[in-house]
Amino acid sequence: MCGFAAYFHPGGLPPEAAWLEAAASALAHRGPDEARVHVEPGLGFAFRRLSIVDVAHGSQPLWNEDGTIGIVYNGEVYNHAELRRELAPSGHRFRTESDTECIVHGYEQWGEDCVLRLRGMFAFALWDRPRGRLFCARDRIGIKPLYHTRANGAFVCASEIKALFEFPGVRRAVRLPGVVEHLSLRYSAGPHTLFEGVEKLLPAHHLAVGDRGAAPRRYWQVAYEPKQRIDGTEALGELERRLTESVRMRLMSEVPLGALLSGGVDSSVVVALMSRLLARPVQTFAVGFDAPGPYSELPFARRVAGALGTEHREIVVGAADLERELPSLVWHQDEPVSEPAAIPTYLVSQLARETVTVVLTGEGGDELFAGYPKYAVDPLARLLAALPAGPRDALLKHGADRLPFRFRKLQVVARSARFRLESERFAAWFAGFAGEERDLLLGPALREHAAAGASAFGRVLAESAARRPLDRMLDADLRLWLPDDLLMKMDKMSMAASVEARVPLLDHPLVEWAATLPDRCKLDGLHGKVLLKQLARTLVPREVVDRPKVGFTVPLAPWFRGPLRGLLADTLLSPACLSRGYYDPVRLRAYVDDHVSGRRDRSRELWTLLTLELWHRMFIDRSPARPAAYVPPARLAAGAGS
């Protein structure tokens, strides 16, 4: 795992070494083990290394035998040994044991199609000297990020946005439609970001940049048809085989590794399979909260750890930890911390870094096997959306919206059911703001961009090969929510601690296989993740599996009424925030007052607004430019769950 930046000027203008050194410094947390830069006419590479595979010889940039092909790369190719055996008979000479070198020789052998041979997570920039072009690519699911922009006639790309700002000519300007999109979705849907002129390379895309410009091309797409004719016993056995293979491949490491254990089904299955495959106890790490109520899954994480005999460690996060670390989170994420779970992810990654460099995680199970409640209740939302507007609004707006917090899932159903268009309904499921409320909040600077919220879902659904309602929801989440929110959060927060996170549930052959499973393997009435839970029952205690889904829920609601009340008011009701023109000041004050008084739970909306304002101050206003150093939270003793 690493961080990199690359510069290409079609006219041959070389970058200054100082630019690349500054970019490498901005990425130091992604690679504390080594820093390198390379400069030549028209080309520059900056690289930071976190040594995991071929620790002694895996430095980058890495070149082929005659220096005509060079690469900087972030990720892991788990089938690199297999590729090495395939390439060697064709005359390719390997000088290292690194997976990076397999990409270089694979490109020599197969050209752009080399990406189709790679099994793993990756983002890279490869210099093809004979053709005078820079070839960039990102893995199929979008586990690893890659951002790019133009600067004074040059193409610049990097693992994180902050590195791009070290090149002259890259402006820090807000993309106003992106602000509206962020209020709607709580993330920036690719290829856009919140910065004007800065884009993400989409998952499963590559980009060749030469003297004739650049055009991204998609190289992979999930097929949902034809559906498999498979019975439950066969499907269960095949899932176990495929997931075991995926976990085994991700145990490849020359440094200590462990797992993040939430106590949910997905991470518990991953840890159980690791325990089968390793001769030593798995090191597991969990996080909980010091607030009462349904916020912590630590008891379930301890139950799994005890049953599997892991070496288990935990931290407990409080409101003071959140307030202290929030500036660091914003800086590391480059964009607003849209997902509150970024906070515990960041802190548990810091804990893990004390003893390991690599962790396996459970991301992807909900998106592959329909684990979120929205998948089960969307048919109801579709029926309600078809009602006449008057009765529908009376039922949904004036009834369900006023339900207390414990009925928050019904509130989400009601919010989504107000929209007849599929794209608008899908956008509303995880929205920061419902479309109508968002539009009333918008100030003069944003009102003309009010349509930005659901446009990303419209694009993705128009391109989707899926035709069944459930498949269309899963495909939209696979292409938007997963890479732009969950995986971005996991990459940025783990790499902030110099930890590599691996996601075995998102092995692309497993993704392809799961997509063609019949719906009954995923949904049974209101119960989701049917097949994965069947597997889990054979691996971990049943009480961990057969319980209501909690999710990684941060106790923002009580904290915003208590210890974080001052932070909320001082930030959102400050002259700087109120004068931006983004929001109607009266409605913004009403949001804060509604929540603090206990009249309504506005924690999700307020979190979205709070982190957006903190991001604006740090990256646009430049105050402060960089947060203070990390201070660890309280933790429990090692071995608490064993």
Catalytic residues, by residue number, are 2
Q: Give which of 349, 350, 323 is closest to 614, Cα–Cα.
A: 323
- Beta-carbon count within 10 A of 25 CB: 13
How far apart CA 255 and CA 512 sit, in angstroms, is 30
How far apart CA 351 and CA 217 sit, in angstroms, is 39
Place of tokens 């992810």: 345
> What DSSP designation does 627 have?
P
Cβ-based neighbours of 111, under 8 Å, separated by 6 or more: none
8 A C-beta contact, residue 24 and residue 61: no
- Concatenated DSSP letters of 80-110: HHHHHHHHGGGTPPP-S--HHHHHHHHHHHH
8 A C-beta contact, residue 284 and residue 261: yes
Task: Kindly give the residue spans of alpha helices, DSSP state H, lying in 480-541.
Answer: 481, 488-496, 508-515, 530-537
8 A C-beta contact, residue 495 and residue 30: yes
* 3-class DSSP state of 258: strand
> 467-473 contacts: CB < 8 A, separation 24 or more?
467/224, 467/225, 468/224, 468/519, 469/378, 469/379, 469/382, 470/370, 470/375, 470/378, 470/519, 470/522, 470/523, 471/224, 471/515, 472/422, 473/370, 473/374, 473/375, 473/378, 473/426
How far apart CA 529 and CA 541 sit, in angstroms, is 17
Which pair of structure tokens corresponds to residue 592?
Answer: 């804060």
Taking the CA atoms of residue 561, residue 570, residue 183 and residue 450 in that order, the dihedral angle to the nearest 10 degrees is 130
Sign for the pseudo-dihedral over CA of 146, 150, 155, 156: negative
How far apart CA 190 and CA 474 sit, in angstroms, is 17
How far apart CA 274 and CA 266 sit, in angstroms, is 13
Q: Give which of 607, 545, 549, 555 is closest to 287, Cα–Cα.
A: 555
Distances (CA, A) of 268 to 237, 246, 553, 631: 18, 15, 18, 29
How far apart CA 489 and CA 345 sit, in angstroms, is 8
